Structure 1
């Protein structure tokens, strides 16, 4: 959370604040390393829907409260379910899938702040489904699922290989080795790594830059990029042409062109 933000959801497993066109979504179970439970995932879904319905939002920052971004599923919570665990995890996985899909399909860019640790289907899945991931130099990432006899979820099996390549992805999910921040940046798992003491400032800088952009342009660009992951080159071209033609008729496009001609910064209104 940042100073001066409007508090929209003050407590519970997920908090939400808003300021400067930026929605700040924060996982809020620091005592459990922001480990995912059904309750947390329901709360995350609710918060994402609030953001989706708020036309003021131009960018999203996703972070975790406490020492970790997200340690994955709450293993203590899972173990306590006993014989009911399969039914619990069917529901938990469904909620996680809804959340990562909602973030990918959100009409504004999602910038994720990774500090401490991002692990398990939840932690890795949230990293994979984000548009921009800025990572503290001391942060680490691990798949983790097979370590507890389970399989990756949260969309990781669909997205991880597209980010880092099939061979690297197989290595990460089968060995559960820890990926240091520098390697995560080098292989394309995160966008960039910054020193720990400037992480918050860098996240806010990027979010402000994006929030100042043309909303419809950013939404269309995000949509085209994500859709392009599952399509061939030729299949993507008509969508690009359609979006460009549509955007050219917006006031923001005219403002952008005039700003370039006048050699000034554009003021986009999303109209």
Structure 2
């Protein structure tokens, strides 16, 4: 959950983002098999209202079902990726003694993270700026994280008297290890992009002016790849994190047996023999 406390108006003069801001809280764009989901509340650091959470969850589920979508990019507009929960909306319920705002974990955050992890296509977090609380956790749940130099990460849950949500207790320690995860959770220190790369929080850091093009390049490469194989890679690696070796071997065997009958596998083998690049169709 959590959000940065400042909600000062921001201009959109930061480095290029995937999509320009409008009055819509979530922008959805499609280019050559890549669906980009842009959190679009830049004046509030893309903090998460009920409307935005519900729109994001629906968009992720739609992307999973749409065969034309072969890779997904999650990013933010303006100077932030996502500051986590919109505390202005959250506090209104708490002031009246209503605990309903806390139900957002079960209603929104858990399903969103599950949708990201289970989405049968690669998901890239394009972290264009600050990512805090649930916003950072969304990035951790993605398959790849590309960060702009100006990006930062913060586990700010303890600062508002809460524990982690949005899967952060599961994803963060798998990225950086138990000890560092506890440090980041308990102390809430902000991690800049350079430190994030050193810790393994992100896969690469790109100068701000090169960031949009790099995201497009990586996303386009994934969208042109063997989509069903990517889905099985996600599935087997996620399950292996909590399985025995025997269980992991059995899952790999089942995946290879299924993928061996796909058109993409046959195309890749033919392309290798013919010394050309494969033309994957995602089938």
Given the two structures, how large is their TM-score scaled by the length of structure 2?
0.89
* Map of 1:6 onto structure 2: none
Alignment of 1:207-218 (within 5 A): 207-218=219-230
Q: CA RMSD in A?
A: 1.5
Aligned to 2:215: 203
- Alignment-derived partner of residue 8 in structure 2: none
Tell me the CA shift for residue 12 of structure 1: 2.8
What pairs up with 1:65-84 in 2 under 5 angstroms?
65-81=77-93, 82-84=95-97
User: Which of 146, 149, 160 lines up with 1:137 in the alignment?
Assistant: 149
The CA distance in 2 between the partners of 1:206 and 1:247, in whole Å, is: 23
**1:91 Cα deviation (Å)?**
2.8
Question: How far did residue 2 of structure 1 move?
Answer: 5.5
Q: 1:223 aligns with which of 227, 235, 238?
A: 235
State the shift of 1:232 in Å: 2.6
**1:123-165 CA distance string (max 9 Å, x none):** 1211110000000112111000100111111000111111100
Tell me the equivalent position of 2:110.
Answer: 97
Where do 4+ consecutive residues of structure 1 move more than 4 Å? Answer: none
Residues 158-237 of structure 1: matches in 2 within 5 Å? Answer: 158-237=170-249
CA–CA separation in structure 2 for the residues paired with 1:96 and 1:13: 17
Tell me the alpha carbon deviations over residues 218-244 of structure 1, each in whole angstroms, 9 at most, x when there is no partner. 111111112222223221110101111
Q: Identify the match of residue 44 of structure 1 among 17, 33, 56.
A: 56
Q: How many residues align?
A: 264
Distance, in Å, in 2 between the alignment partners of 1:86 and 1:37 is 16
Secondary structure at the residue paired with 1:80?
Answer: helix
Q: Return 5+ residue gaps in structure 1 as ranges.
A: 4-9
Q: Which residue of 2 aligns with 1:117?
A: 130
Q: Is the 8 A contact 1:78 1:85 kept in 2?
A: no
Q: Which has the higher contact order (CA 8 A, sep 6+)?
A: 2
Paired residues of 1:109 and 1:131 also in contact (CA < 8 A): yes
**How many Å separate the matches in 2 of 1:183 and 1:58?**
31
Per-residue CA deviation, residues 177-214 of structure 1 (Å, 9 max, x unaligned), is: 01111111111111111111111111111001111111
The answer as to whether partners of 2:155 and 2:185 remain within 8 angstroms in 1 is yes
Shift in CA distance, 93/74, structure 1 to aligned 2, threshold 3 Å: farther
CA distance in 1, matches of 2:119, 2:200: 22
CA distance in 1, matches of 2:176, 2:184: 10
Contact 1:93–1:154 (CA under 8 A) maintained in structure 2: no
Compute the displacement of 1:85 (Å): 4.9
